[in-house]
Amino acid sequence: MKQTFKIFFHILLIIFLTAITQIGGIVYLLFLVVLYFLKTKNILLKVGVFSMIYLFFIYVIVPPIARWQGREPVVTTESISPTNYMTVLLNRNYVVPEMNNLLLKAGKQLKGTNIKIKYLDACFPFVKGFPLLPHLSHNDGRKIDLSLVYENQEKKITDLQKSISGYGVYEEVKKGEWDQPTKCLEAGNFQYDFPKYLTFGSINKELKFSNNGNKKLISILLAQPNLGKLFIEPHLKNRLNLNHPKVRFHGCRAVRHDDHIHIQL
């Protein structure tokens, strides 16, 4: 019975690690092989060994193989960086080269402003169609989420965010604005505001949504010829007067987009 439980536990862990990192399950299997030869019961040593193997994979093994298959990590520059470094550690930062080119061009056009491109989930490094949970469409390297732009109490643009994960703290509907979130929830789409459970903690509550900062960022993104679509919640689209045909509503089957911006080629 004990042996059966251990096997079941390992299988569950492999599935979980694969779901959240794509390569974590393979790393864990390799770790079990190493552990067999180490024959140690020291928990800290086990954690250390797994961490070293995992980090070696994500920084040394995965990037060149991903490039061979047409994907690469999102570039990091003075203007482009992850909102949360866990995005990188979980391999959720891979895109096709065309997306990196789009981001680089947009980043150059943002020079001279205080606006930064802070990215959230993109895609996994391998296999077209492999799901990046909980997203519906981040599975081909052609999509990426970007953080909203906020102002501090002095009305200066900052690259700080309102949640640890970068998701789940919404720019709520104001009086007189079209309330799409309520419409979707009332229609039975219970998952629509699910990201509120994925904040991992609210922070910087004093920050305010920057109308000028978000409009500037979105206008530059829309000016990129290889941008296909940009998703943002309808009340923010109207608030920012975004009449461009590439600004679309993502549909009630997705989740709210008033905590981030989704772009795709």
> Which pLDDT band, with edges at 50, 70 and 90, does 214 fall under?
very high
Fold of 73-264: Muramoyl-pentapeptide Carboxypeptidase; domain 2 (3.30.1380)
pTM for the model stands at: 0.92
Q: What's the average model confidence in pLDDT over 67-90?
A: 95
Q: Which of 146, 254, 163 is nearest to 201 (CA)?
A: 163
Say what the pLDDT of residue 249 is.
93
What pLDDT digit, counting tens, does each position of 125-153 carry? 999 999 998 888 999 999 999 999 999 99
CA 95 to chain centre: 11
> Which pLDDT band, with edges at 50, 70 and 90, does 4 fall under?
confident
Say what the pLDDT of residue 56 is.
97
Q: What's the average model confidence in pLDDT over 183-209?
A: 94
**Euclidean distance between CA atoms 46 and 188, whole angstroms:** 45
Distance between first and last Cα of the chain: 51
- Using DSSP's 3-state secondary structure scheme, residue 264 falls into strand
* 33, pLDDT greater than 80: yes
**Euclidean distance between CA atoms 231 and 84, whole angstroms:** 21
Segments making up each domain of the chain, as ranges: 2-68, 73-264
